[in-house]
């Protein structure tokens, strides 16, 4: 039997379980009328946001599709639209289930912590599986349409349109959602906790519903679109690089990534099924069981893939190396952001001597964490390269390691979407005035969610950096093909045999030399773009929060009886304000994200653009990991103080902790995640437009 049948089959199995988990969640008890009312506020707000966001995106999608049709042909345009639509569809399904799972989690928490965990986790699992299944089916469908699976593998180049579509959706979803969620979060905290001294998620706070909506549109929908894109880019890039290995492995070289992803989909289903709550156990332990099942299934399947499909045991080593690095990343994140670890304790303790020292330590530990994780990725690359013996096969080793690290995506996404569901659940418990034991159960889930969110961020950034190396090779291969050199180019580009290769390849090699000033200049420009993009995202959050603070203060001032609980604040005013603002603010950074690679591609040419891109990738990843981990550590340092250390709540350390957290929030939840998307968007945009840069771009002397 042709093993390719397994690919659509795995996609269909995945979608089936999406339906099963969604139905299972919906048939759970939605709780009291008050709880349902609160949940419906959140659901309406989130849906309204998504509707308006999708509208805005739709204009861009249509506009870009027309341009692609004119300049690059129908295949790219069709792929683009499909990528965008599939991405939005996955997000829509996932968020819809999440906004139903939240209140049901709260409701279950009243009687059974285990059941609450299960609802939240399966709610998240729906998102993880719908992403995996839809990207697999979408790319497989396109590959089938373009004949990649049926005798014309070189058409794998045409798949880039799908990745580009997914990128554009993701950029908007992540930026819009990120600006919304942090604007609301900061405003709710500043006016509620700091100025009025009321608890988090207190119903008297006008921004509280906006904050809970933000969890869904930012953390669920935004991150979902982000991971959809990662997976798509990763598949497409590895397939394109596979083209260079047809002489060695035959067609399997191109189709191997699809098979590996299909395995990942099944592994994710098994992993989600393996998670079972118990009353006593820490939820993280239950989830670790899910990770373990996925990992073991994957390793076993890798062995099968390596030996029986690819007939190369060393590929099994590389795949496993990637998987192991995913686990290492998760440990590193737990060290740098974990509440019982040295960094968090030192940050918390620093606050005893003043805010400055809390901030300095958070900054310093965050920076160190980025260094360790980037060096890990560099080392994994080098090892995978040499496990295959270096040279051309070494590149395939790197490709395999990249597929290995992304293998855990489904289960990690499930654990990630679990986070905002749990967060929402404890917010609903607080707003509905449920008893302290329900809230405590919610808090336990919420704390577990914080860890899984931190892990996902570090993990997905490491995946992105690994993938970006493969994408660089895909880019260089595509460029070489445009320069009229066959797909044996990659060998000449990177191997170092004694004989001089043919002239055309040599010209490419020389154009890729670090010794050219234009390449150095492009590397400089590329390395700074993540700073520019972060700067814009942070200013947008600052403005959004600034306006929302004004609105919440206005309501407290102008509407009598809010503070005494006699009048309900106008929640929807905050949701509306945030939505309008976020959708307006997401346009300018998007234009920067698009304009720079296009300008470099045309003005400096396709080869310096490769240097530009590697700069964007490396610095984007470093900066993002710094932001994620510093933000996570600040958050947990505050929690550590709140647990009663270094003076506990109300002490100097606590004030310092709160301030550290408010700086960390936009770093970890808006600027950092947006960088993730920036990297991928620019990569895929560059590959998509490469034929235009090649034909019309300036070429240096």
Which parts of 435-454 interact with a copy of itself (CB under 8 A)?
A: none
Closest CA to 319 of 407, 250, 435: 407
Contacts of 66 (CB under 8 A, 6+ apart): 77
Residue 393's CB is within 10 A of a number of other CB atoms, namely 18
Residue 199: DSSP 8-state: P
Cα–Cα distance measured from residue 136 to residue 261, given in angstroms and rounded to the nearest whole number: 7
Q: Of residues 374-393, which lie at the interface with a copy of itself (CB under 8 A)?
A: 374-375, 377-379, 381-382, 385, 390-391
**What is the nearest approach in angstroms of a copy of itself to the Cβ of residue 138?**
30
SS3 420: helix
Cα–Cα distance measured from residue 41 to residue 91, given in angstroms and rounded to the nearest whole number: 20
Q: Tell me the three-class secondary structure of 648-660, residue by residue.
A: CCCCHHHHHHHHH
Which of 251, 546, 572, 642 is close enough to bind a copy of itself by CB under 8 A?
A: 546
Cα–Cα distance measured from residue 425 to residue 101, given in angstroms and rounded to the nearest whole number: 8
**What is the nearest approach in angstroms of a copy of itself to the Cβ of residue 105?**
29
Q: Which is nearer to a copy of itself, 29 or 642 (CB)?
A: 642
Contacts 24+ apart (CB under 8 A), 302-305: 302/260, 302/263, 302/404, 302/407, 305/256, 305/259, 305/260, 305/263
Hey, what are 108's tokens? 């279950």
Which region, judged by CB under 8 A, interacts with a copy of itself, from 228-236, 297-305, 428-436, 540-548?
540-548
Q: Which is nearer to a copy of itself, 302 or 363 (CB)?
A: 363
Q: Of residues 629-668, which lie at the interface with a copy of itself (CB under 8 A)?
A: 659, 662-663, 665-667
How far apart, in Å, are the Cα atoms of 624 and each of 376, 509, 667, 669? 15, 31, 8, 10
**What is the nearest approach in angstroms of a copy of itself to the Cβ of residue 166?**
25
Which of 2, 151, 435, 496 is close enough to bind a copy of itself by CB under 8 A?
A: 496
Q: Of residues 336-355, which lie at the interface with a copy of itself (CB under 8 A)?
A: 350, 353-355
Residue 25: DSSP 8-state: H
How far apart, in Å, are the Cα atoms of 105 and each of 1, 126, 185, 659? 44, 15, 22, 31
Q: Which is nearer to a copy of itself, 77 or 175 (CB)?
A: 175
What is the helix (H) or strand (E) element at residue 226, kind and residue range? Answer: helix 223-242
Which region, judged by CB under 8 A, interacts with a copy of itself, from 6-14, 56-64, 447-455, 493-501?
493-501
Q: Which is nearer to a copy of itself, 121 or 607 (CB)?
A: 607
Q: Which is nearer to a copy of itself, 376 or 692 (CB)?
A: 376
**What is the nearest approach in angstroms of a copy of itself to the Cβ of residue 282?**
31
197 binds a copy of itself (CB under 8 A): no
Which of 55, 282, 437, 535 is close enough to bind a copy of itself by CB under 8 A?
A: 535
Which region, judged by CB under 8 A, interacts with a copy of itself, from 38-46, 53-61, 425-433, 531-539?
531-539
**What is the nearest approach in angstroms of a copy of itself to the Cβ of residue 603?**
10
Hey, what are 572's tokens? 């929807």
Q: Which is nearer to a copy of itself, 271 or 404 (CB)?
A: 404
Q: Of residues 171-190, which lie at the interface with a copy of itself (CB under 8 A)?
A: 186, 190
Q: Which is nearer to a copy of itself, 630 or 689 (CB)?
A: 630
Q: Which is nearer to a copy of itself, 401 or 454 (CB)?
A: 401
Q: Of residues 571-630, which lie at the interface with a copy of itself (CB under 8 A)?
A: 610-611, 614-615, 618-619, 622, 626
DSSP 628-696: HHHHHHHHHHHHHHHTTGGG-TTSHHHHHHHHHHHHHHHIIIIIHHHHHHHHHHHHHHHHHHHHHHHHH
CB 456 within 8 A of CB 410: no
Assign residue 605 a region: left if phi > 0, alpha if psi is -120 to 50, beta otherwise? Answer: left
Cα–Cα distance measured from residue 586 to residue 170, given in angstroms and rounded to the nearest whole number: 12
**What is the nearest approach in angstroms of a copy of itself to the Cβ of residue 46?**
24
Which region, judged by CB under 8 A, interacts with a copy of itself, from 152-160, 246-254, 534-542, 573-581?
534-542
Q: Which is nearer to a copy of itself, 102 or 682 (CB)?
A: 682
Contacts of 261 (CB under 8 A, 6+ apart): 7, 132, 135, 136, 231, 235, 403, 406
Q: Of residues 450-479, which lie at the interface with a copy of itself (CB under 8 A)?
A: 465, 469, 472-473, 476
Which of 398, 429, 432, 637 is close enough to bind a copy of itself by CB under 8 A?
A: 398
**What is the nearest approach in angstroms of a copy of itself to the Cβ of residue 86?**
31
Q: Of residues 55-84, which lie at the interface with a copy of itself (CB under 8 A)?
A: none
How far apart, in Å, are the Cα atoms of 352 and each of 189, 339, 355, 657? 22, 17, 8, 10
Which of 33, 503, 564, 566 is close enough to bind a copy of itself by CB under 8 A?
A: 503
Vertex 446 angle, CA 672 and 352, to 5°: 70
Closest CA to 102 of 446, 455, 447, 569: 446
**What is the nearest approach in angstroms of a copy of itself to the Cβ of residue 326?**
18
249 binds a copy of itself (CB under 8 A): no
Cα–Cα distance measured from residue 486 to residue 478, given in angstroms and rounded to the nearest whole number: 10
Q: Of residues 509-528, which lie at the interface with a copy of itself (CB under 8 A)?
A: 509-525, 527-528
For residues 294 to 333, the per-residue mask of contacts with a copy of itself, x marking binding by CB under 8 A and - elsewhere, is ----------------------------------------
Q: Which is nearer to a copy of itself, 138 or 664 (CB)?
A: 664
Which region, judged by CB under 8 A, interacts with a copy of itself, from 445-453, 508-516, 638-646, 675-683?
508-516
């Amino acid at each position: 039997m042709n093993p390719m049948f397994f690919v659509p089959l795995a996609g269909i199995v995945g979608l089936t379980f999406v339906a099963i988990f969604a139905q299972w969640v919906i048939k759970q008890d939605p709780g009291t009328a008050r709880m349902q009312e609160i949940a419906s506020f959140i659901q309406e707000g989130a849906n309204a946001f998504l509707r308006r966001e999708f509208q805005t995106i739709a204009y861009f999608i249509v506009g870009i599709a027309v341009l692609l049709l004119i300049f690059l042909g129908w295949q790219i345009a069709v792929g683009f639209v499909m990528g965008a639509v599939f991405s939005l569809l996955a997000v829509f399904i996932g968020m819809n289930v999440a906004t139903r799972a939240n209140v049901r989690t709260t409701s279950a928490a009243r009687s059974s912590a285990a059941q609450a965990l299960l609802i939240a986790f399966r709610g998240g699992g729906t998102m993880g599986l719908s992403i995996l299944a839809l990207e697999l089916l979408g790319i497989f469908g396109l590959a089938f349409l373009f004949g990649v699976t049926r005798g014309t593998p070189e058409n794998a180049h045409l798949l880039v349109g799908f990745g580009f579509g997914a990128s554009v959706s993701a950029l908007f979803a992540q930026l819009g959602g990120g600006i919304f969620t942090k604007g609301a979060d900061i405003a709710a905290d500043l006016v509620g906790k700091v100025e009025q001294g009321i608890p988090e998620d207190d119903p008297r706070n006008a921004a509280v519903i906006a904050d809970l909506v933000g969890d869904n549109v930012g953390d669920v929908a935004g991150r979902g679109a982000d991971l959809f894109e990662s997976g798509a880019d990763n598949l497409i890039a590895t397939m394109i690089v596979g083209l260079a290995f047809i002489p060695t492995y035959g067609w399997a070289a191109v189709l191997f990534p699809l098979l590996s992803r299909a395995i990942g989909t099944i592994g994710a289903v098994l992993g989600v099924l393996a998670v079972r709550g118990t009353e006593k156990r820490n939820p993280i332990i239950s989830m670790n069981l899910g990770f373990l099942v996925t990992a073991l299934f994957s390793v076993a399947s890798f062995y099968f893939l390596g030996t029986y499909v690819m007939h190369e045991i060393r590929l099994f080593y590389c795949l496993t190396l990637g998987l192991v690095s995913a686990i290492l990343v998760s440990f590193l994140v737990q060290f740098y952001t974990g509440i019982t670890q040295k960094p968090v304790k030192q940050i918390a303790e620093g606050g005893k001597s003043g805010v400055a020292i809390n901030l300095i330590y958070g900054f310093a530990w965050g920076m160190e964490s980025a260094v360790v994780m980037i060096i890990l990725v560099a080392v994994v690359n080098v090892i995978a390269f040499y496990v295959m013996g270096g040279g051309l096969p070494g590149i395939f080793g790197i490709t395999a390691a990249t597929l290995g690290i992304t293998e855990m995506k489904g289960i990690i996404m499930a654990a990630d979407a679990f986070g905002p569901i749990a967060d929402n659940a404890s917010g609903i418990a607080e707003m509905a005035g449920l008893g302290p034991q329900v809230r405590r159960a919610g808090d336990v889930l919420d704390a577990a969610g914080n860890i899984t969110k931190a892990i996902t961020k570090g993990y997905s950034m490491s995946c992105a950096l690994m993938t970006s190396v493969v994408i660089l090779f895909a880019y260089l291969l595509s460029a070489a093909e445009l320069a009229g050199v066959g797909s044996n180019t990659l060998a000449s580009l990177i191997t170092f045999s004694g004989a001089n290769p043919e002239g055309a390849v040599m010209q490419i090699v020389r154009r890729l030399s670090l010794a050219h000033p234009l390449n150095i200049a492009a590397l400089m420009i590329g390395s700074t773009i993540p700073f520019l993009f972060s700067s814009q995202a942070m200013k947008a959050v600052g403005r959004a929060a600034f306006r929302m603070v004004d609105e919440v203060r206005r309501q407290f001032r102008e509407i009598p009886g809010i503070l005494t609980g006699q009048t309900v604040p106008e929640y929807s005013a905050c949701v509306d304000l945030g939505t309008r603002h976020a959708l307006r603010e997401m346009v300018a950074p998007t234009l920067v994200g698009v304009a720079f690679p296009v300008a470099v591609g045309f003005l400096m040419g396709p080869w310096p653009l490769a240097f530009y891109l590697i700069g964007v990738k490396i610095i984007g990843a470093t900066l993002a990991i710094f932001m994620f981990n510093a933000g996570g550590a600040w958050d947990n340092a505050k929690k550590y103080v709140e647990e009663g250390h270094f003076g506990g709540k109300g002490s100097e350390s606590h004030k310092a902790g709160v301030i550290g957290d408010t700086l960390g929030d936009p770093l970890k939840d808006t600027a950092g995640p947006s960088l993730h998307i920036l990297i991928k968007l620019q990569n895929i945009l560059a590959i998509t437009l490469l034929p235009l840069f090649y034909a019309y771009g300036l070429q240096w002397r």
